């Protein structure tokens, strides 16, 4: 049997507001989420092996823990007997950095859930799908369809049907941010802002006026992030700059590829040891 190939796209938070904290100690969030053409490559096929085989390769594979989102997903599906005792060989080429705020691990799990469902390997109700995703990670549910989304107050989700046509220049320092550590430092909450926004009104101008509540926390903890962000801001006045997720990736958003390429050239010259990727929203 040949391997089938799956694209597991990176996500960026065009905005992120922390609205409060639940009794479960998790935070209520609202966010404008987009997917970009940067992706991990997943190769999958059934195997006669007694156990699943999960292997990682690529630039960002060396620090993937033995217990990860994919192994957790397979373990849960096996316990619930959803895979009917079938075992899979899964090879993942990691192109998305870890601890970057780009959701690489979460999107790997989401992409596999989507694959299993589309191929009729598993059958899940809506509730089962949500419960499965939540057991693996809070971001996993976002990647099931890999569609741009408005996630507003009380987890209301609205798909953005149009292509945003934005070029993204993603720059990650040679360190990552711990999501748990960043959220522990949240002391102030925002009021809901996205519930009144209609998907047809989401454009470059609107997005430039939004924010990421975690950015001020991350840049305060890691001054190098603030320095990178400030440098980014001075490159092109027609672009806007924002951290994605809890960091550590800083993203510049551009209307034209030419402007993004110019910024990439300057950033690579001044931040030679930082990961840098030019992508586009899908």
Rounded to whole angstroms, the Cα distance separating 199 from 32 reads: 10
Task: Say whether 11 is catalytic.
Answer: yes
Q: Which two tokens stand for residue 90?
A: 């899964």
For the packed helices 126-136 and 69-79, what is the interaxial angle rounded to 10 degrees? 140
Q: Which of 58, 11, 60 is nearest to 37 (CA)?
A: 11
Q: Which two tokens stand for residue 54?
A: 């999960």
**What is the three-class DSSP state of 74?**
helix
Rounded to whole angstroms, the Cα distance separating 164 from 145 reads: 16
Catalytic residue among 40, 94, 99, 139: 139
Rounded to whole angstroms, the Cα distance separating 196 from 238 reads: 26
- Whether 105 and 11 have beta carbons less than 8 Å apart is answered as no
Q: What are the angstrom distances between the C-alpha of 97 and each of 33, 40, 143, 226, 276? A: 18, 10, 17, 20, 10
The terminus-to-terminus CA distance of the chain in angstroms comes to 31
Catalytic residue among 11, 94, 99, 264: 11
Task: Say whether 156 is catalytic.
Answer: no
Rounded to whole angstroms, the Cα distance separating 37 from 226 reads: 26
- Whether 18 and 114 have beta carbons less than 8 Å apart is answered as no
Residues carrying an active site annotation: 11, 139
């Amino acid at each position: 049997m040949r391997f089938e190939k799956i694209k597991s796209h990176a996500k960026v938070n065009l905005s992120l507001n922390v609205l409060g904290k639940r009794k479960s100690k998790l935070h209520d969030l609202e966010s404008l989420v987009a997917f970009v053409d940067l992706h991990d490559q997943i190769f999958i096929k059934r195997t006669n092996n007694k156990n699943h085989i999960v292997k990682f390769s690529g630039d960002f594979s060396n620090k993937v823990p033995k217990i990860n989102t994919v192994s957790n997903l397979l373990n849960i599906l096996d316990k619930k007997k959803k895979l009917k005792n079938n075992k899979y060989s899964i090879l993942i080429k990691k192109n998305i950095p870890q601890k970057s705020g780009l959701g690489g691990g979460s999107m790997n799990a989401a992409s596999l859930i989507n694959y299993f469902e589309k191929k009729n390997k598993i059958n899940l109700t809506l509730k089962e799908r949500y419960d499965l995703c939540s057991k693996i990670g809070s971001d996993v549910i976002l990647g099931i369809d890999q569609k741009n989304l408005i996630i507003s107050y009380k987890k209301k989700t609205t798909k953005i049907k149009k292509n945003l046509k934005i070029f993204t220049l993603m720059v990650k320092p040679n360190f990552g941010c711990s999501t748990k550590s960043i959220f522990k430092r949240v002391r102030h909450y925002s009021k809901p802002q996205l519930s009144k926004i209609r998907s047809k009104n989401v454009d470059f101008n609107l997005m430039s006026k939004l924010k990421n509540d975690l950015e001020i926390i991350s840049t305060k903890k890691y001054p190098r992030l603030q320095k990178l962000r400030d440098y980014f801001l001075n490159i092109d006045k027609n672009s806007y700059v924002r951290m994605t997720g809890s960091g550590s990736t800083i993203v510049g958003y551009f209307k034209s590829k030419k402007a993004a390429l110019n910024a990439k050239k300057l950033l690579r010259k001044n931040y030679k040891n930082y990961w840098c990727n030019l992508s586009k929203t899908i």
